[in-house]
Structure 1
Amino acid sequence: MPGRLKVQRPSPTTVSFTVSNAPQRSSSPAKILFGLQILLRAVLFSCVVSVGVALLRHIVFKGDSGRISWSAVWSSALGSKLCRFVDSYNPLAIAVVSAVVIYGVFRRGYTEESLLVIRGFGIQTSTSSSTYLSSAATRFIPTTQIQDIVIHEAFKGFEVRFYLAVIVEGEPDALVVFPHMLPKRDILEQVWRGSRRCLYDANAKS
């Protein structure tokens, strides 16, 4: 899915460019589908937790602890079925499948990259992680180390791709902005003009 550009200007000296391929949820069917996805993730996570607790019932979750009577839980109809299900499979296989399901539950499913420009301070690049369990990868470059912001072109297979890069003082390689998304040239030109205007044009208006 091609990336879409979102521009925010919270102040005359600050501008944020975000490129994302997240699905749009403006229509009612899209919102309903998103709600069903969240519900499915919650159900799968609950199932994995239940299987994990049953798998460790002889080690950790046994007897009575606090307000929970684990012996009553495992002797119930649902608890006994869960125990029989867990005991019929290899514990290692259950652990592997549970890990895969957990990854799918917390997988983000889209990529979001941003460039924050603050006049007089510098720029910050950010790339979202592949899961909701970890934070985005960010890097801040002060204005004193920014030599230039340029648009380069490179070959990717048999295709010519354009990318936005920041030339940082003292570094042999340029810092590529939006390295995973690699948006189209018209988006890059808009970000290039807006970032340079914010950084170097003291008379620029929001």
Structure 2
Amino acid sequence: MSSAKNYSLEVSPDEHNRVVTFTVKKHPSLFLTYVRTPLATVLLAFLVPKAVAGVSGAFEWKLWSFFQQPGWSSVLLHQYILWFIQGGYSQHVECIVTLLIGVIAAALLSLQEPSDSMVVMANLGVQLSSKSRWRFLNRRSNKEFIPLSNIIDLVIHEGFHGYGQVIFYMCILTKAKSNSSDEGNGVNVVFPNFLPRKDILIQVWRHSRKILYGDQRRHFRHIPGYGLKEVQHLHE
């Protein structure tokens, strides 16, 4: 059974239409749009005074004497542990609640809509990137740049996904890292986390190829010992 794949496509060209960003993501949820920011603001408004009061109460009463003796840092840590142990049940509960509120606020601020992006740059190449649902999981490893000299073509294929589901997906065919015929060519799937509908793929494919190659028709032939080599189209 196929999924609805109700995704949105955002096309962001630059002023000269030479750098275009294609972004596929889900439609914005009501929670992220209207609830997340106000809720995080309320939690932070509760958290900040509690944190300041807790720190002041923990250190203020003997802080001046710690700096007048050697090894004051270890004494400070020891006194803080004693204060926490002897503070009573209510203070312990308050510290735990404050900590939990801080974790929830940080999680809300880190939450975002996941997306897959492809940046097409004329005469340069293509950059693929992905954003996870959590900001702290986004790393530089999520980005991959493919120079134009390594790109064979952008194609749309039909294949199986999941439990026998037939889908269309777009991929970038790249040249082998060496001229050895034993090494196959690379395949980089575009929008791998979403695999959007065919109509979105066709729109991205047409626009991307026009930016990279214009109206030129490109053909490659596998030559034994040399891998794929571009050949001129003889029947225009």
Q: Does the alignment reach a TM-score above 0.5? A: yes
Matched to 1:160, the amino acid is: V
- Cα distance change on mapping 1:120 and 1:20 into 2, 3 Å: same
2:132 maps to 1:126? no
- 1:194 positional shift: 1.0
Matched residues, percent identical? 28
Q: Which amino acid aligns with 2:116?
A: E
Equivalent residues of 1:103, 1:131 under 8 A apart: no
In structure 1, list runs of 5 or more residues that go unmatched.
25-29, 66-82
2-structure distance, mates of 1:182, 1:146: 21
Provide the aligned length of Structure 1 versus Structure 2: 177
SS in structure 2 at match of 1:88: helix
| Structure 2 equivalent of residue 75 of structure 1 | none
- Deviation track 1:65-112 (CA, whole Å, cap 9, x = no partner) reads 8xxxxxxxxxxxxxxxxx964413795x975x4575145312434212
Selected match of 1:139 from 99, 123, 144: 144
Aligned to 1:38: 37
The CA deviation at 1:7 is: 1.6
Partners of 1:17 and 1:115 within 8 A in 2:
yes
Shift of 1:15: 2.1
Deviates more, 1:48-57 or 1:148-157: 48-57
In structure 2, the partner of 1:190 is 203
- Looking at structure 1, the residues matched to 162 and 39 of structure 2 have their Cα atoms a distance apart, in angstroms, of 37
Deviation track 1:138-176 (CA, whole Å, cap 9, x = no partner) reads 221110111121112222213212211112223655111
* Equivalent residue number for residue 108 of structure 1: 111
Structure 2 CA distance for partners of 1:85 and 1:44, relative to 1, 3 Å: farther
TM-score by length of 1: 0.67
Aligned to 2:222: none
- Residues 167-178 of structure 1: matches in 2 within 5 Å? 167-170=173-176, 173-178=186-191
Gap change, CA 1:158 and 1:94, over 3 Å in 2: farther
d(CA) in 1 for partners of 2:137, 2:62: 35
Instruction: Say what the alpha-carbon RMSD is for the aligned residues.
Output: 3.6
For residues 1-206 of structure 1, what are the structure 2 equivalents within 5 Å?
2-10=6-14, 11-23=16-28, 34-48=33-47, 61-63=59-61, 85-88=90-93, 97=100, 101-102=104-105, 104-133=107-136, 135=138, 137-152=142-157, 153-170=159-176, 173-201=186-214
* Distance in 2, Cα, partners of 1:196 & 1:12: 13
- Matched residues in 1 for 2:44 and 2:195: separation? 33
Q: Secondary structure at the match of 1:174?
A: strand
Q: Is this contact kept in 1: 2:155–2:170, CA < 8 A?
A: yes
The answer to whether the 8 A contact 2:37-2:109 is kept is no
Letter in 2 for 1:120: N
TM-score by length of 2: 0.60
Say which structure, 1 or 2, has more relative contact order (CA 8 Å, 6+ apart). Answer: 1
2:201, 2:54 → 1: CA distance? Answer: 52
